[in-house]
Amino acid sequence: MFDVIIIGAGASGLVSAIVASRRGKKVLLLEKNAKVGKKLLATGNGRCNIANQKPTLNRFYSQNPSFIEQSLEGYNFQTIKQFFKSIGLELIEAKEGKVFPLSLQASSVVELLEYECEQQGVEIRCNVEVQQIYKENNVYTLQHTQGKSISAKVVIATGHVSAPQLGGVIDGIRFAERFGHRIIKDFPTLVQLTSPRKDLNQIAGVKVESKVTLNQGKYTIQKQGDVLFTAYGISGLAILDISRFVMEQLFHNPTVILHIDLMPKMSHEQLASLMKKSVRKKSQKPLDVWLQGFLNKKLIEIIVEGLKLPTLIESQIGVKHIEKLVDAIKDFKFEVNGSRGYKGAEVATGGVDTKEINPLTMESGKQKGLYFTGEVLDVDGDRGGFNLYFAWVCGMRAGEHL
Ligand SMILES: Cc1cc2nc3c(=O)[nH]c(=O)nc-3n(C[C@H](O)[C@H](O)[C@H](O)COP(=O)(O)OP(=O)(O)OC[C@H]3O[C@@H](n4cnc5c(N)ncnc54)[C@H](O)[C@@H]3O)c2cc1C
């Protein structure tokens, strides 16, 4: 019999296994994939944005914000840095507080976590999918694809349904429900968005540094970064960042309008002045060719069509035309109606209701000896290392209290 069985060798499961075994616990770590840390390998485009140096509370979301506050209290970036140093992984800080492994390889994170588990005597079994959990006389029996295992305590570190191609499943939620936990409904976040526009093929492939504003319901949210127009809708870092807020709005509205500033580095006045100065009085150049001096050709077609401008040549372009063009460039309205779903999502919102979890230990308030860590809980974070930050903290907390 094991002291602890941890279900899921992802971010939080690996850390809780190490911390618990360092404290003398006999730990069994069960993973349904053929290898540990499959999702971790894909993080940060293979570089693993392992944490953020500034994990302020407003970067995390839950129906129960006080859980976030209490669970993160007492831990900070230094705690995480120390932990990774203790397994031999050095970290490097980048822009916006983002932190990466010094090797810039997610595989280093996975390999050093796995190596430390082995050093500490954690028994890791891959290709084992846990199907049911039973509790009798304070002992947990786990039924899985290779038989049964028993333990005094169980950690559900199964993640959530995001990225099913990397192992995202609903299993943890199912186990939680079986033990009487309330579940907060999920939706994909950090995800690409779909659009009902008919002209998408015209702009598919265009990538621009933009500022995206969502001005609907209770929100005015702005995110700046790459925007990539695609055949299904829109993607890019600024879109992933704003997707959580858009998805919330799509619960109440069939479509949402994004206001995209296609030239955020210039003010309205600066762009208008630049355009006005560039108009040459005798030029016969067609408007769409003239505009190529400022903007991507594919976007020009859509903008000019949308403005219904007459067929103009450069010498005919007046102040009114320029004002209209600048308005359209600085506030390009793009309708969205959904997301690419969990296959494209980095994270699932929702999960096990944290009102029923002890934020200091991650233990269930309903079943003694049952713990939940990471994405299976109703906590998600912004892009930038916040989701892994939460997973590491949960893993440490559970590991320390097991
Ligand atoms: C493409 C992508 C990129 C990302 N990049 C970043 C990033 O750079 N920075 C960041 O902070 N976050 C990132 N994230 C989010 C981050 O990876 C997750 O939030 C984090 O891995 C969650 O950790 P976890 O421990 O809860 O679960 P996971 O790491 O998802 O691990 C859960 C494990 O449990 C296993 N499992 C599930 N059910 C069972 C079962 N029944 N039996 C046995 N095993 C089971 C799964 O196979 C999986 O290995 C990214 C996500 C994706 C999809």
DSSP annotation string for 328-348: HHHTEEEEE-EE--TTT-SEE
Query: For 290-303, what is the mean pLDDT?
Result: 94
Output the pTM of the full model. 0.95
In a domain, 114, yes or no: yes
pLDDT at 204: 97
Q: Do residues 138 and 173 share a domain? A: yes
Q: What is the CATH number of the domain that holds 161?
A: 3.50.50.60
Q: Please, which pLDDT band fits residue 373 given cuts at 50, 70 and 90?
A: very high
- The count of domains in the chain is 3
Query: For 243-268, what is the mean pLDDT?
Result: 96
Q: Using CA positions, which residue lies closest to atom 31 of ligand 1?
A: 10
Cα of 107 from ligand 1 centre, angstroms: 14
Q: Do residues 176 and 194 share a domain? A: no
Cα of 314 from ligand 1 centre, angstroms: 54
Q: Do residues 199 and 67 share a domain? A: no
C-alpha pair distances (Å), 351 with each of 71, 234, 358, 392: 16, 27, 15, 17
In a domain, 274, yes or no: no
pLDDT at 167: 87
Q: Using CA positions, which residue lies closest to atom 22 of ligand 1?
A: 375
Q: Do residues 98 and 167 share a domain? A: yes
In a domain, 233, yes or no: yes
CA atoms 298, 300, 303, 304: torsion sign:
negative
Cα of 292 from ligand 1 centre, angstroms: 44
Q: Please, which pLDDT band fits residue 325 given cuts at 50, 70 and 90?
A: very high
In a domain, 270, yes or no: no
To the nearest whole number, what is the mean pLDDT of the chain?
A: 96
pLDDT at 217: 67
Query: For 378-386, what is the mean pLDDT?
Result: 98
Q: Do residues 151 and 205 share a domain? A: no
State which of 346, 378, 380, 383 you would mutate to test the pocket of ligand 1, scoring each by most atoms of that ligand within 8 A of its C-beta: 346
Q: Do residues 172 and 56 share a domain? A: yes
Q: Using CA positions, which residue lies closest to atom 35 of ligand 1?
A: 8
Query: For 317-328, what is the mean pLDDT?
Result: 95
Query: What are residue 221's DSSP bridge partners?
Result: 214
Whether 388 lines ligand 1, by a CB cut-off of 6 Å, is yes
Q: Using CA positions, which residue lies closest to atom 21 of ligand 1?
A: 11
Q: Which tens digit of pLDDT belongs to each residue from 27-54? A: 999 999 999 999 999 999 999 999 999 9
Query: For 287-302, what is the mean pLDDT?
Result: 94
In a domain, 309, yes or no: yes
Residue 333 CB: number of other CB atoms within 10 A? 10
Cα of 375 from ligand 1 centre, angstroms: 7
Q: Do residues 318 and 348 share a domain? A: no
- Ligand 1 atom at minimum distance from 11 CA: 25
DSSP-H helix ranges across 120-191 = 171-178
In a domain, 268, yes or no: no
Q: Do residues 97 and 36 share a domain? A: yes
Helix, strand, coil percentages for the chain (3-state, nearest 5):
40, 25, 35
Q: Using CA positions, which residue lies closest to atom 3 of ligand 1?
A: 43
State which of 18, 41, 43, 189 you would mutate to test the pocket of ligand 1, scoring each by most atoms of that ligand within 8 A of its C-beta: 43
Q: Which tens digit of pLDDT belongs to each residue from 336-355? A: 999 999 999 999 999 999 99
Cα of 35 from ligand 1 centre, angstroms: 13
C-alpha pair distances (Å), 114 with each of 4, 14, 37, 220: 17, 7, 9, 43
pLDDT over 80 at 216, yes or no:
no
Whether 44 lines ligand 1, by a CB cut-off of 6 Å, is yes
Q: Using CA positions, which residue lies closest to atom 8 of ligand 1?
A: 44
CA atoms 39, 205, 212, 341: torsion sign:
negative
N residues, the chain = 402
Is 368 exposed, middle or buried (CB count within 10 Å of its CB: 0-12, 13-18, 19+)?
exposed
Cα gap 143→188, rounded to integer Å: 29
Whether 149 lines ligand 1, by a CB cut-off of 6 Å, is no
What phi and psi values does residue 116 have, to the nearest 5 degrees?
-65, -40
Whether 344 lines ligand 1, by a CB cut-off of 6 Å, is no
Whether 250 lines ligand 1, by a CB cut-off of 6 Å, is no
Whether 52 lines ligand 1, by a CB cut-off of 6 Å, is no
Q: Do residues 71 and 147 share a domain? A: yes
In which domain, by residue range, is 295 found? Answer: 279-328
Q: Do residues 233 and 350 share a domain? A: no
Q: Do residues 90 and 237 share a domain? A: no
C-alpha pair distances (Å), 71 with each of 109, 163, 284: 23, 25, 66
For the chain, give the percent of residues with pLDDT over 70.
99
In a domain, 272, yes or no: no
